[in-house]
Structures are given as C-alpha cells and as structure tokens.
Structure 1
Amino acid sequence: MAVAGVLVGKRNRRSQWKWWYPEVPVLLLVVAALWGTGSADQTEEYLKREHSLSKPYQGVGSSTSSVWDLLGNALVTPQYVRLTPDLQSKQGAVWNRVPCYLRDWELQVHFKIHGQGKKNLNGDGMAIWYAKDRMQTGPVFGSKDNFVGLGVFVDTYPNEEKQQERIFPYISAMVSNGSLAYDHSRDGRPTELGGCTAMVRNQNHDTFLVIRYVKRRLTIMIDIDGKQEWKDCLDVTGVRLPRGYFFGSSSVTGDLSDNHDIISLKLYQLTVERSPEEDKMDKEVFIPSVDDMKRAGEAAAEPMSGFALFLIVFFSLLVLVFAGVILLIVYSKWQERNRKHFY
C-alpha cells in the first residue's frame, strides 16, 4: 500500500501522463513502480504550493500571508491575474516572495494573451522569470535589464524590421549574470539560447508552456494548439542556475497593447536519480552561466547571406572603378596642363 500511496495523486502531465486511480489493483502499481526504477532518468514530481499561483488567488498582493506580490498595473480577478490590460504604456508583474532552493524543478505556466489588435498590431509580450532580484520595473517586458538569472520571453511583436526567417509570436530564453543586456531592437537575438514560434494570441483554448530544469539541462515545451500535447521548443544543456532565486512573471505594453493574463503558475519539485559521478559534476553554483556562452556572443555576429556578400563585393568594386575613373581624369588633366607649360 505504500507504493500505491506514492503513485496515487501524481499530477496529470496532460496527454502524456494519466491519473492513477485507487481502483487499480495494487499488484499493477507495484509492477509499474518496479518498471520505473529501471530508468536512470526516472523522476517523481511534487507540487510546491509555496511557489505556485492558482485560483482563487487568495490574498495575492494584499495579504501578509500571501506568498505572491503584485507590481505596477497588475490586478487580480477571480479568473486570472492580469499583468497588463489592453491599454497603451502599461506594465505589471507578479512575484513569488519565497526563494526557491530546489535542485531540479518544473514550472508549468497557464497563460492567455489576447486583445483587439490584429496581425502585428499588438504588443509587447510577457516574461517568465527565475531571477535574483524581484519586484523591479524595467524595459525587459516590464522588468529590469541586466538581470541575474533566467528569463523566458513570449514576444508578440517583431521590433527588427528585416525579420524574415522568424515568425511572431516567438518564445525565447536567456541566461544572464548581470553583464548582458537584452537587445530590444533585435528582439533579444544576440543573447538568446534558442526558441520557437508560438501562435498564442487570441486563442479560444488554453495555452501552456513548461520550463523544466534538470541536471543542468533547460527545456521548454509548449501546448498551444488545444490538443493536450507537448511540443518541444528549446533544449539546452550545460545551464547553471544558482538556488535561492525568485519566480515571477511580468509584462509591458507600449504604443501597441494586449491583455496579458496569468491563470496559474505551478512549480513541481523533481526527484531525480543521480550517479556518484553526476553528483560530483552537479556542484553548487553561485553565478548563472551556460557552458557554451560563446553561443550567445556568436548570435550577435550572424554570418552574412550569400546575397548580402554579393552586394558588398559588387558595390566595393563599383566604388573602386569610379575612383579609378576619377583618378584617370585628374591625371589626364594634370598631364595636359604640364604639356601647355612646356610649350
């Protein structure tokens, strides 16, 4: 019965994981448990209420007993926490008061972005944070720039005019130790770890994203099609995040706007098996970093396309030819003037 007690009540990971019911014979539960122990990456998940936000949002932002604070224009309703309304020049945030000391975790975000704007006439988006500093306003989706920690951005408006290969809305992630700035003019491309297109605006069904951090591996999955299926968005290894940071979410609107709503933030502690070698490698870290940090720097200097290189070479040659013609004319005039002086 002890095994059944462990398995019963585990959460439904949407279409990939189903509920275990007490009616299932205990023998089957034992078999399932024994089968699961054979996997090196087997995890058990436990909801951490002190880091979770869900209905009915009792006391959020107003009660001393609440573990969540509101900032800026954020407000609470019975159905959602609205970070920003569909109005210009608004910003808001919700932040957890309790620092997270979990080694491995998963944050499931249930959110909704909607408004009157059509196509690209909407903005600007929202961010999910695991950051050292909380409750600070700023230009990065309503929070501070040069942050320390992890930022996951749901960007709904393309600021870079020559955006061709990327379709918005777009989800991306960034890890910063405080020295990196978010480049709005390029939609964060110079410092992003990766991302994916996610058509999350004005959907009639629920939209979700999951941020999972296990064994220095950061993965993001999305469920935005109403099919209750997770799709991969980002997978990066060698990500090092210190413990003791805060979870939060923020949003901002400018000349363009949207409603940015958080319906729930649910954090799960993941109990992961580690070998002695993995334990040695997973030492405590104090500064956020990514093993392949050159990756972010290289993004700022993306290779030129063949057409761009052709244009540069073509116009360079054109300038050289033009300069040569001018020099030839000047030299001819100079020779003619010298000849007249001679006679």
Structure 2
Amino acid sequence: MPLKFRWTIAFLVVTLSRCFADDDHEMEEFLKREHSLSKPYQGVGSSSSSHWELMGDAMVTTDQVRLTPDMQSRQGAIWSRIPCHLTDWEMQVHFKIHGQGKKNLNGDGLAIWYTKERMQKGPVFGNKDNFTGLGVFVDTYPNEEKHIERIFPFVLAMVGNGSISYDHERDGRPTELGGCNAMVRNLKHDSFLFIRYVRRRLTVMIDIDGQHEWRDCLDLPGVRLPQGYYFGASAITGDLSDNHDIISMKLYQLTVLRSKKEEEEEEEDVITIPSVDNMELIRLGQSDEGMSGIAIFFTVLFSMVGCIFLIVIGLVVYSHWNENRRKRFY
C-alpha cells in the first residue's frame, strides 16, 4: 500500500473518530483562528489589531515564540487579546522545553492559562498569583523533596477563584486537580498538550512519546469555568533555567448536541466564578494517594500487627469462656 494512501486513511480515521465525544454525544470541532497561534505568527504584536500580545522576556522567532531563553531570572508570556465566549472548547498546544541543564538542574516550567486576568507578571510560572480561572502547569523542577514518589517534570491543573494561592513550596499539591508525570525536556520529537472543556468536564492529555498518541493525564467532571476569559502561555526561570518555547496553540470550538432539558439547566445555572464540584473529596483522595512508600509499609505493618493482636485476645477470651462453660456441666 503506498505511503501517501496509508497517511490519507489514517487521517480520515482520526478525523471521523473525533466527531464523537464522551457519553455518546455527537461533537464537531471548528478551528477558531482568532484564538489560535501558529507560524508565521503574523497576529503577534503590540498594535491594537494584533490577536496576541507579548510580555516580559518573550520574543518571536521564525520557528517559535520563546517565552524564556535558557538564562537565569527571566519570565515571559504571550496572551490573547480576544476573550473566549465558547461553551465547549479544546486547546492543543505544541511546545518544547530544552536547555543545557542536567536532570533536576533546570527550571522552572511553563503554564497554559484560561483566566479572567491577562498580561500580569507574577511568581506562578510567570503569571500572577491568586488568578481567576484555569491554569495547566508543566512543572520541571521539584521544590518539595519529601515527595519522592512524584517524578518530574509533572503536568498538573488548578482552578483559582481569585483568592486561592499557588503553593510553590509544595509544587501546587494542595490545590491541584490531578496530573501526571511527563518527561518533556530535550526531546528530539514534538511534544503536545491537550486541554478539553466539554459539558463542564476538564480533560488533559499529553503526546510526548513521538507516537502521535494521546496519553491520559487528567479527567475530571464538575469543573465550572465562566465564559469571556483569555488564553495565554507563560514561563519563568530562577537560579535554574531552560528554553520554554510555544510552537503553536490551536483552539477548536466544539459543537456538542444537548437535549432541551440540558440546555435549559445550563441557561439557569450561569457560571460567574470558577469552581470545582466536590473539591474537598478530591483533596482527600490526593492526600491518601500522596503517602510515601515507607508510610504505606508501616501503615500496613501496624494494621497487620493490630489484627493479630485482636485475634490472640479473641482466642484467649474464647478459651476462658469455653473452659468455664465446661465446668458448669460437671
């Protein structure tokens, strides 16, 4: 079979498969060019007619938007000028993180944003703290050394309501919605991040293995994000550094078929403040999952000892009871 024909078949399969969403709801997608960033980056600039605006140390080259160079104490960002009013959407980010630093001697990572605020410098991967909206972080440096079970780089998501702070010392664990490890540094092939928001369900996937296959990272229902926020990307370096590059950010409008009842419910329940349903349960589950191997070992060990102790006590009590019972018959 000719190579060109095989690629055509593969493209058709992928295209057809993406016409259907989860829960058997039919879905179509349309590229929104006014919210997308790609080569040759003609819509990037400081003029009012530009769709995207640079901030800090970010700069445009022919091949990428470099948020930070591989130099210390730099931060940069690129933000959309146009607010997004889509109900359901999907963002595909083509990015690259590379530098001269060896493992764990590089930092700090980049973030993809959908927030109420824009163009504000800060400590959270180059953006302001206490943000309002969604942040998806590609964290390349571990600040908390105690959690040895987490492998970095690590991708995680967070929803902020304007008063929740990102905890740097704990790598964002107290407020994260979930995540996955992703070895994205110094790859020879392309790396991609996939963020989908459909029917108040947030899905994050990655493609970093060069196999053109998405790998699950986060899938969470009950995420409430208002419309009219801005997309952006930012990065920061400190004593350690990396090149943080954005090759493209492509936003797709997703048209999902809804029943009349679902439409009426969504019209009545208008989202004004970002939030996550059952956030306390999510944190509790993460706390359980965050136990180290040693803690788990001792928990199991003491549980077994406790069970054995109770069994021995039970046997002794039963033995005494049985002996007294027999005496009553003599």
TM-score, normalising length: structure 1:
0.78
Q: 1:245 to 1:60 in 2, by over 3 A?
A: same
CA contact (8 A) 1:72 1:93 kept: yes
| Contact kept? 2:20, 2:28, Cα under 8 Å | no
> 8 Å contact 2:147–2:292 — kept in the other structure?
no
Counterparts of 2:67 and 2:209, CA distance in 1: 23
Distance 1:88 1:48, change over 3 A: same
Q: Runs in 1 of length 4+ with deviation above 3 angstroms?
A: 14-20, 295-311
Q: Find the counterpart in structure 2 of residue 68 from structure 1.
A: 52
Give the match for residue 274 of structure 2.
Answer: 288
Change over 3 Å in CA distance of 1:299–1:155 after alignment to 2: farther
Q: Which amino acid counterpart does residue 230 of structure 1 have in structure 2? A: W
Q: CA deviation at 1:64?
A: 2.8
Q: Which residue of 1 aligns with 2:139?
A: 155
Correspondence 1:230 to 2:214: yes
Q: Deviations over 1:47-95 (max 9, x none)?
A: 0011000000115123332110000000000100000000000000000
Cα 1:197–1:301, aligned 2, differ >3 Å: closer, same or farther?
A: closer
Please give the secondary structure, in 1, of the residue aligned with 2:284: helix
Q: Which residue of 1 aligns with 2:319?
A: none
Per the alignment, do residues 125 and 180 of structure 1 end up closer, same or farther by CA in structure 2, a change over 3 Å counting? same
Query: 3-state SS of the aligned residue for 2:169?
Result: helix
Please, which of 222, 229, 232 is the counterpart of residue 248 of structure 1?
232
* Aligned counterpart for 1:214 among listed residues 190, 198, 203: 198
Q: Distance in 2 between matches of 1:281 and 1:70?
A: 39
Q: Does 1:124 align with 2:97?
A: no
Alignment of 1:163-242 (within 5 A): 163-242=147-226
- Which residue among 105, 108, 112 is the counterpart of 2:92? 108
Instruction: State the distance in 2 between where 1:224 and 1:18 align.
Output: 18
Compared with structure 1, are the counterparts of its residues 19 and 106 closer, same or farther at alpha carbon in structure 2 (3 Å cutoff)? closer
Give the match's secondary structure for 1:143: coil
Output the aligned Cα RMSD: 2.6
Distance in 2, matches of 1:228 and 1:301, equals 33
Structure 1 unaligned spans of 5+: 1-11, 21-31, 315-343
Shift of 1:292: 1.2
Summarize deviations over 1:194-227 as a string: whole Å, max 9, x none.
0001111000000001100000000011110000
CA contact (8 A) 2:112 2:137 kept: yes
Note if contact 1:115-1:258 (Cα within 8 Å) is conserved in structure 2.
yes
SS of residue in 2 equivalent to 1:186: coil
Identity of aligned residues (%): 67
Cα gap change, 1:180 to 1:268, in 2 (>3 Å): same
Higher radius of gyration, 1 or 2: 1
Q: In structure 2, what is the equivalent of residue 43 of structure 1?
A: 27
Number of aligned residue pairs: 286
Given that 1:40 and 1:273 are in contact with CA atoms closer than 8 Å, whether structure 2 keeps it comes out as no
- Aligned position for 1:146: 130
Stretches of structure 2 that go unaligned for 5 or more consecutive residues are 1-7, 303-330
Q: 2:253 aligns with which of 259, 262, 269?
A: 269
Contact 1:16-1:229 within 8 A present in 2 as well: no
What's 1:321 paired with? none
Give distance in 1, aligned partners of 2:134 and 2:146.
27
Deviation at 1:233, TM superposition (A): 0.6
Describe the shift of the 1:140–1:306 C-alpha distance in structure 2 as closer, same or farther (beyond 3 A): closer
Distance 2:38 2:184 in 1: 20
- Contact 1:191/1:299 (<8 A) preserved: no
- CA 1:231 to 1:293, structure 2 compared with 1: closer, same or farther past 3 Å? same
1:259 aligns with one of 240, 243, 255: 243
What TM-score do the two structures reach when normalised by structure 2? 0.81
